[in-house]
Amino acid sequence: MTELICIVCPKGCHLKVDEKNGCAVTGNGCKRGEVYGKKELTDPTRVVPSTVKINGGSHRRLPVKTSEPIPKAMIFDAMKLLDTVEVTAPVKRGDVVYKDILGTGIDFVATRDM
């Protein structure tokens, strides 16, 4: 039995996920909590926010994030990739700054205009 706190909404339900019983979830206040509990144990993913270097911008760093959640096990390798990225202004929110992170088909995108 694994205990988790649901992060899908601000309610923060205390979930119990029974791995021996097909990842049955209890303690959830809604269906989304059940989905989160099962996914967190079988295939955890995260949206990754960070920054990259930018030339000619109003700041030295441009905020970025993954366009979709990536597997949790890939986060550190994805962050290492960002050390090699340098963009030049102007950049628009939503512009792809790194395409196809580690072969996932997911991109790092800008989260502000600069």
* Number of H-type helices and E-type strands within the chain: 2, 10
Is the pLDDT confidence value at 21 over 90?
Answer: no
pLDDT tens digits, 54-113: 999 999 999 999 999 999 999 999 999 999 999 999 999 999 999 999 999 999 999 999
pTM (2 decimals)?
0.81
Dihedral angle sign, alpha carbons of residues 17, 70, 106, 108: positive
